Structures are given as structure tokens and as C-alpha cells.
Amino acid sequence: MLSDIAFYGAVETGLIYGLVAFGIYISFRVLDFPDLTVDGSFPLGAAVAAVLIIDGVDPWLATGAAILAGMAAGAVTAILNVKLKILNLLASILTMIALYSINLRIMGRPNVALLTEETVLTPWYDLGLAYHQVPVVLFVIVITISLVLLWRFMKSETGLAMRATGANARMARAQGIATGAMIILGVALSNGLVGLAGALFAQSQGAADVTMGVGVIVIGLASLIGGEAVITPSSVLRALIACVVGAIIYRLAIAFALNADMLGLQAQDLNLITAVLVTLAIVLPGVRNTVVSKFTRSKA
């Protein structure tokens, strides 16, 4: 059904979107802050990394710069909301729109090719792995480190304060937590992860493109919600694992849908499939509960 290369390709992209799902978990779930900045911070991370790599900067340094750029973008959204009292959703849309221009400015043109440049992946090709397996290996390492760090952070004093901010802001303030600062830190962290995802995506795909951010938020949400449907997010660790699993399942589902000839789907149908999958992921758990409750009502 699915060729080896298509399979590894799907897992590779899934791992990158796992990072996006981490970011969306922080904004949507931890902070209850619907943040659409990611559609801008994903290509921002890609643009910053690509331009710096072309300028001869070390690819890991360039990737670090992409994280910082993403964090700055997130901080702008949060400051618009916290300090200027702009509705969170609107604040994020404003930043997202502004980033479109900024990304064009950074790249100086709509896209930058990286095919001949040295990227974070280059040294790994010498290790003797199959060409299409290299990115998967590297990204598994990156996402595992990110997951552990994020998990530890959420369990720390500051992380706990951030979770309280999203869950019960009034209580958090009464405990002496500067909720505004927590929102700024959290949304920055979220977009830093998305910037990292953008930088890795550009390097594995061999190009940064100003339109590559379109729909990232939906894909990230699809991964998050899909993952939660598979793994109940009863703890932070489970929720983070759910993000990765959801992202990989999502990419595999897309790959299967596009590969199944009998469905007659083509690459341009991607966004339609995404929308259908997200809808199913949102609706199905509810349907399952209704069905279950229909059969268990007598017990209750």
C-alpha cells in the first residue's frame, strides 16, 4: 500500500508536526489561549533558519535563532493580549498577518532553496542509514529531548504556575502568580517550538516558502485532538505523548488517503482531507460517548 519512502516521509513530517502539537498543547490546552500565530511562526522559523544557513551560519545555531524568532513572535501576540487588552484570537491573527510581510522581508523573496546547503541533517547521512531514514532518526532524538524538557518544565514551580494560570486565573493571582507574565512566557514558548518545527521542516524539505505556514494551526490541532482521542491526556506526560502519536497518525492517515488509488484523491485535496479528519477527530469521541452511554444507562 504505502511504499517505504512514503511511510518514512509521513513519520518524518509527523515528528515535525509533533513539535507544532506541543506548541498548540501549551497555548490551547495549558493556557486556554487560542493562538493562531503558529501559521506565521512556522514559516518564520523556516525563513530565519534558511537565510542564516545560506549566509554560512552553523545549521544548529541557525535553528536556535529560529526558536528565538518564534518566541519573539509569540511574545508579541501575548503582549497584544495582556498589555493592550486585545482579544487573544484577534491578537494572534494580527501577528500572523504581520509575519507574512516579515517573512518576505527576511527571505527577500517568496522562497529560499536549501538543497545544496549544509543542514543539521547533513552529518547524519554519513552514518550509513538509508537516505529516507536519516531525518526520522534525527527528529526522534529532537522530539524526545523536547518532550522530556517540556514535561520537566510543566512539573516545575513555574510550569505549575503556568498551568494554574490557564485553569483558574483568579486562583492563580490569589496565589501570587503574575498571570500576565505567565501568558507571555507560555505563548512565547509555544511559538518557539513551532519556530523549531519550521526550521527543521525547511531543512528536511530543502526549502523555506512564505506560504508553507498555511493551515499549520489546523494540522497541529488535528494532531492534538487526534492524539487525545487515542491516549487520554490524564497527565502532562500522557498529553505530550498524545501530541506526538497524534501527529504521526495524522500524517500516516494523510499518506494512506493520498496513496489509495481507489479513493481518487490527489495532492491538492490535502486541505480538504485535513478538514474532514479534524472534524472526525472532534466529533467521534462524542459519538463514542453517546453510544457507550446508550448501552450503559441501565447501570448508572
- Measured CA to CA, the distance from residue 81 to residue 281 in angstroms comes to 29
177 is a contact residue toward another protein (CB under 8 A): yes
Residues 6+ apart with CB under 8 A from 241: 147, 227, 231
148 is a contact residue toward another protein (CB under 8 A): no
- Measured CA to CA, the distance from residue 130 to residue 124 in angstroms comes to 10
178 is a contact residue toward another protein (CB under 8 A): yes
Asked if 57 and 39 count as a contact pair (C-beta separation under 8 A), the reply is no
**CB nearer another protein, residue 178 or residue 273:** 178
Comparing CA positions, the residue from 186, 201, 254 lying closest to residue 226 is 254
98 is a contact residue toward another protein (CB under 8 A): no
| Near another protein by CB under 8 A: residue from 56, 108, 128, 176 | 176
146 is a contact residue toward another protein (CB under 8 A): no
- Measured CA to CA, the distance from residue 281 to residue 220 in angstroms comes to 12
| SS3 category, 120 | coil
> What is the H or E stretch that residue 196 is in?
helix 179-205
**CB nearer another protein, residue 55 or residue 157:** 157
| Near another protein by CB under 8 A: residue from 41, 88, 146, 179 | 179
85 is a contact residue toward another protein (CB under 8 A): no
Determine the distance from the C-alpha atom of residue 111 to the mean position of all C-alpha atoms in its chain, rounded to a whole number. Answer: 21
**CB nearer another protein, residue 30 or residue 102:** 30
175 is a contact residue toward another protein (CB under 8 A): yes
Region of 128 please: left (phi>0), alpha (psi -120 to 50) or beta: left
Comparing CA positions, the residue from 215, 206, 198 lying closest to residue 48 is 198
- Measured CA to CA, the distance from residue 273 to residue 63 in angstroms comes to 31
CA angle, residues 120, 124, 127, in degrees to nearest 5: 170
Residues 151-170 that bind another protein (CB under 8 A): 152-153, 155-161, 163-164, 167-168, 170
Site string for another protein, 238-277 (x = CB under 8 A): ----------------------------------------
187 is a contact residue toward another protein (CB under 8 A): no
**CB nearer another protein, residue 159 or residue 213:** 159
**CB nearer another protein, residue 3 or residue 175:** 175
CB of 16 vs another protein, minimal distance in Å: 27
Which residues in this chain contact another protein in the complex, by CB under 8 A? 152-153, 155-161, 163-164, 167-168, 170-179
